[in-house]
Chains A and B, each alone.
Chain A
Amino acid sequence: MERNAIAIVGASETTELGKVPTMSQVQLHADAALNAIEDAGLKLSDIDGVATGGHNAVEIAHYLGIVPNWLDGTSVGGCSFMLLVRHACAAIDGGLCNTVLITHGESGRSGLGRHGSSIFPSLFQQQFERPYGVTRPPTMFTIPVLRYMKDYGLSEETLAMVSVVQREWAGKNPKASFKDPITVDEVLNSKMICYPFRLLMCCLVTDGGGALILTKADLARDLRQKPVYIRGTGESAETPMISQMADFTSSAAFRVSGKNAFESAGISHSDVDHLMIYDAFAHLPIYGLEDLGFVGRGEAGPFIAEGCTRPGAKLPLNTNGGGLSYMHSGMYGMYALQEGVRQMRGTAPAQVNGAEISVVHGVGGMFSASGTIVMTNVA
Chain B
Amino acid sequence: MANGERELPRPTPETQHFWDGTRKGELRFQCCEDCKNTYFPPRHFCPSCGSKNVNVVKASGKATLHSYIISHLPAPGFQTPYAIAIAKLEEGPTMMCNILGCEQTPEALIIDMPLSVTFERINDEITLPQFKPMGTN
Contacts and interface: CB of A to CB of B under 8 A. Distances in A.
Contact of B78 (A133, A138, A147, A195): A133
A142 interface: yes
A124 B111 contact: no
A146 B6 CA distance: 25
A67 interface: no
Interface string A122-137: 0110111111111110
A119 interface: no
Nearest to A198: B72
Interface residues of A, number: 34
Interface in A190-220: 191-197
A378 B41 CA distance: 48
Given A127-B9, A133-B84, A244 B70 contact: no
Given A127-B11, A146-B111, A150-B112, A195 B96 contact: no
A127 B15 contact: yes
A194 B7 CA distance: 20
A244 B94 contact: yes
SS class, residues of chain B in contact with chain A = loop
A241 B94 CA distance: 11
Q: Please indicate which of the listed interface residues B15, B78, B86 has the most CB atoms of chain A within 10 Å of its own CB.
A: B86
A375 interface: no
A39 B125 CA distance: 58
A195 B12 contact: no
Contacts of B106: 195-196
B72 A143 contact: no
Contact of A243 (B6, B71, B86): B86
Contact of B72 (A127, A132, A146, A194): A194
14 contacts: A123-B12, A126-B7, A127-B10, A128-B9, A130-B9, A131-B9, A131-B128, A133-B78, A133-B82, A146-B68, A150-B111, A191-B72, A242-B96, A243-B95
The 8 A-B residue pairs with the shortest CB-CB distance in the complex, in nearest-first order: A127-B9, A147-B67, A195-B70, A243-B96, A130-B7, A194-B69, A133-B75, A133-B78
